[in-house]
Amino acid sequence: MNTASPRPVARRSLFKAGAFGAAAVAGGLALSACGGGSLAGSGGGGGESKTFKLAETHPDDYPTTLGDKKFAELAEKYSDGRIKIQVYPNAQLGEESDAIEQVQMGSIEMTRISSAPMGEFVPAMGLFSLPYLFDDADHLWRFLESESGKKLLGEVDGAGFKGLGYFDPGARSFYTSKKPIKAPTDVKGLKIRVQESQVQIDFIKALGGSPTPMDYGEVYSSLQSGLLDGAENNEPSYLSASHYEVAKNYTLDRHMRVAEVLLINKDTWAGLDTKDQEALQKAADEAAPFQREKWDAQVETDLEKLRGEGVTINEISDLAPWREATKSVIDKHGAKLGEYLDAVEELRTA
């Protein structure tokens, strides 16, 4: 039921130059061309039951995975058992950019994905990678729940997806193996892993560092081998992926809140009857606050655990020099995001 429509898959080559990336893309296209994917799950309405796969990069007990599972449980309940969603954690179905491509082509029906790599498929999603944009989680959520936030989610339609909702991403901060980062100038000359996002590449460049886009699953060994000097992420990722073991300096500058997004393949969505679409949407709407609660609870305990593991935590109280040093990123990428940036500004105060 999924057509191999010529949607852009090429953005990835920006980051994955070389044989592996080309093979992955070619492999995906071959799959799609022969109508691959879990066709068992793609039937159209009529009361028959469907099973969808949902790709998740994090481990079983991570807050986004708990959100996925709540979504799956509610989807089954609200569809009277017609829709079953199998959550595949730990990047079992592939690293994030591969998962996005597979959902785009329909070989996987769903994913919970970071908006950062999504920005390479749907440029407006790059908004969330703009540095020091949101003051805190409440500011982010005022935006996500606003008409603008919903409109932005709707932009994924044009790239072969349907956006079902947002999950909380926390805030990303730097961590390094050798020298701690205390001021923007400390990033100079450091090799820092970024997500597959041009905005994030420009962010590290603006600070004088050397940005290295890389799959999440490769970061630990790259920090360990010295290929990287540092990376950046929120507390639950830094802890659960054990990056703290090989990069013990954590600098809480909270530079980005890259929304987590729940996606379904557009054709799979279109193939559902209205009742099942409503069931899925209701499930996603209710899974979001559940995930946010889990998130908030975990961030605090994770910070304590990290301290207990001997991580040195540097709090950054004055963001002004960081904002100043990275202004060029907002100027370059913000120009295309005018209406969304205006909404973010309007929602800065509750």
The answer to whether the CB of 84 falls within 8 A of the CB of 48 is no
Beta bridge partners of 166: 261
Shortest spacing between CB 96 and ligand GTR, in angstroms: 5
| The two structure tokens encoding residue 73 | 């449980």
200 binds ligand GTR (CB under 6 A): no
Shortest spacing between CB 155 and ligand GTR, in angstroms: 19
Q: Which helix (H) or strand (E) holds 79?
A: none
Judged by CB under 6 A, which of 57, 173, 200, 291 binds ligand GTR? 57
Contact string (CB under 6 A) for ligand GTR, positions 163-182, x = contact:
--------------------
Residues between 102 and 131 with contacts to ligand GTR, criterion CB under 6 A: 114
Distances in Å between the Cα of 93 and the Cα atoms of 45, 60, 168 are 26, 14, 22
Beta bridge partners of 260: 114, 167
Shortest spacing between CB 34 and ligand GTR, in angstroms: 29
Judged by CB under 6 A, which of 143, 216, 244, 290 binds ligand GTR? 216
The answer to whether the CB of 213 falls within 8 A of the CB of 201 is yes
Count of residues interacting with ligand GTR (CB under 6 A): 10
233 binds ligand GTR (CB under 6 A): yes
Judged by CB under 6 A, which of 195, 212, 249, 251 binds ligand GTR? 195
Single out the segment in contact with ligand GTR by CB under 6 A; choices: 18-26, 232-240, 286-294, 326-334: 232-240
Shortest spacing between CB 115 and ligand GTR, in angstroms: 9
Shortest spacing between CB 147 and ligand GTR, in angstroms: 25
Shortest spacing between CB 259 and ligand GTR, in angstroms: 10
96 binds ligand GTR (CB under 6 A): yes
The Cα diameter of the chain in Å comes to 61
Residues between 246 and 305 with contacts to ligand GTR, criterion CB under 6 A: 260
240 binds ligand GTR (CB under 6 A): no
Shortest spacing between CB 275 and ligand GTR, in angstroms: 31
Q: How many residues does the chain have?
A: 350
127 vs 97: CA distance, rounded Å:
18
Q: Where are the alpha helices (DSSP H) in 214-315?
A: 219-225, 235-240, 266-270, 274-308
The answer to whether the CB of 255 falls within 8 A of the CB of 131 is yes
Question: Nearest Cα to 53, choosing from 39, 32, 67, 63?
Answer: 39
97 binds ligand GTR (CB under 6 A): no
The answer to whether the CB of 306 falls within 8 A of the CB of 235 is yes
197 binds ligand GTR (CB under 6 A): no
179 vs 157: CA distance, rounded Å:
43
Applying CB under 6 A, which residues contact ligand GTR? 57, 64, 96, 114, 195, 216, 233-234, 237, 260
